[in-house]
Amino acid sequence: MSRYRVTILIGALAVLCHAQSAIAAADAAVLAAAEACEPYARALLQRLVSIDSGTANVAGLDDLSSTLLPELERLGATVQRVPSTVPGLADSLLATWTGTGRGRILLIAHMDTVFLPGVAAERPYRVDGNRGIGPGAGDDKQGIVTGLCALRALREIGFRDYGRIALILNSNEETGSTGSRELIRAEAAASDVALNLERGVPPDGVVVARKGSAKMNIEITGRAAHSGLEPEQGRNAVVEAAHQILAMGEAREDHRGDVGKDERQGDVGDDFMRLFQLLASRLADDPGEGAGLLIAAIDHEPGDDRRGKKDEQ
């Protein structure tokens, strides 16, 4: 996390609060506040990265929340734990600050990572030059630290020309925010603008659009038959699923699909297969177009195995 990134966020918060002239005059103070936060930021990032917090690791995420809650309260926030709407996921945190101005700003970062329990100990946090490296350091614990440093800097320079700042620390972003979607939607609707604190791309500019995502569930029903006596009467759902997967991979290059899970039911003729397809569209705000392309790619008549032959499954 660079001082430059924190300064950009502080400046963006001020501009969004309609205080351009005030922040222009306070540039030196903003930079000084960002620089003063660096030792705190480095120490906090190491603490956060040292806690395993994969999406399914409820205990680890609760530990992370317990670490962050007093940090937020020291910055004058009102903090609440928001339960997941999906069972088995950890609470998210919602921190809010009330100012004296008008702008309503939403900041979002996430606490969960893609790493299993024990990885934080296997790959301990380390510093390489000016980079902090460890599981979840970039995605997205640096975002949490960046947000806290920006809010700390605003507090230090006495900037309160905003109506409300809300910070969501999401517990389940890596799996699509299924348990926090309602919270995000509600806070977004109550805000004038939202800033996502994911890491950016060089040279640390503000990213204004990213890919969207959607999930498709595909169910394939075959026909059970005895493999020894009448195999020609059967239709193998597993074989059909293989063709569907290949068709997904041949979809347009600006839409990327990943097959996430398969589940087979039935023990005669492989008569049922369930897949889900996680679709990420590189066209901002248009995962629906990618879904339509995939549907077109896999849609065909029953019995057609895509090799130009019928009824030979």
CATH at 232: 3.30.70.360
Asked if residue 94 and residue 53 are part of one domain, the reply reads: yes
Q: 139, 171, 196 — which closes off a domain?
A: 196
Q: Are 61 and 112 in contact (CB under 8 A)?
A: yes
Kindly indicate the confidence band of residue 274, based on its pLDDT and cuts at 50, 70 and 90.
low
In a domain, 304, yes or no: no
Predicted confidence (pLDDT) per residue in 293-306, tens digit? 555 555 555 444 44
Asked if residue 242 and residue 188 are part of one domain, the reply reads: no
Asked if residue 236 and residue 189 are part of one domain, the reply reads: no
In a domain, 204, yes or no: no
Asked if residue 244 and residue 110 are part of one domain, the reply reads: no
CATH of residue 93: 3.40.630.10
Q: What is the pLDDT, as a whole number, of residue 231?
A: 80
Q: What is the pLDDT, as a whole number, of residue 312?
A: 37
Q: What is the pLDDT, as a whole number, of residue 226?
A: 81
Asked if residue 132 and residue 26 are part of one domain, the reply reads: yes
pLDDT mean over 191-211 = 82
Kindly indicate the confidence band of residue 221, based on its pLDDT and cuts at 50, 70 and 90.
confident
**What's the domain range around 88?**
3-196
- Buried b / exposed e over 225-260, threshold 16 CB at 10 Å, is beeeeeeeebbbbbbbbebbbebbeebeeebbbeee
Q: How many domains does the chain have?
A: 2
> Which of 239-244's residues contact partners 24+ apart within 8 Å by CB, and which partners?
239/270, 239/305, 239/313, 240/273, 240/305, 240/313, 241/273, 241/275, 243/305, 243/306, 244/218, 244/220, 244/275, 244/298
Q: Are 113 and 64 in contact (CB under 8 A)?
A: no
Asked if residue 249 and residue 142 are part of one domain, the reply reads: no
Asked if residue 249 and residue 190 are part of one domain, the reply reads: no
- Distance (Å, whole) CA 302 – CA 305: 8
With a cut of 70, say whether residue 75 has pLDDT above it.
yes
Q: Are 35 and 182 in contact (CB under 8 A)?
A: no
- Distance (Å, whole) CA 49 – CA 1: 13
Predicted confidence (pLDDT) per residue in 121-146, tens digit? 999 999 999 899 999 999 999 999 99
Q: Is 173 known to be catalytic?
A: yes
Asked if residue 282 and residue 187 are part of one domain, the reply reads: no
Which position among 71, 140, 161, 173 bears the catalytic label? 173
Which position among 91, 112, 174, 271 bears the catalytic label? 112
Minimal CA–CA distance to 68: which of 83, 57, 53? 53
Q: Which of 56-70, 157-171, 246-260, 280-294 has the lowest mean pLDDT?
A: 280-294
With a cut of 90, say whether residue 60 has pLDDT above it.
yes
Kindly indicate the confidence band of residue 31, based on its pLDDT and cuts at 50, 70 and 90.
confident
Q: What is the pLDDT, as a whole number, of residue 239?
A: 81
For the chain, give the percent of residues with pLDDT over 90: 51
Average pLDDT score, the chain: 79
- 203 preceded by a cis bond (ω within 30 of 0): yes
In a domain, 239, yes or no: yes
In a domain, 310, yes or no: no
Q: Is 112 known to be catalytic?
A: yes
Report CA-CA distances (Å) from 119 to 33, 113, 287: 34, 11, 32
Q: What is the pLDDT, as a whole number, of residue 27?
A: 79
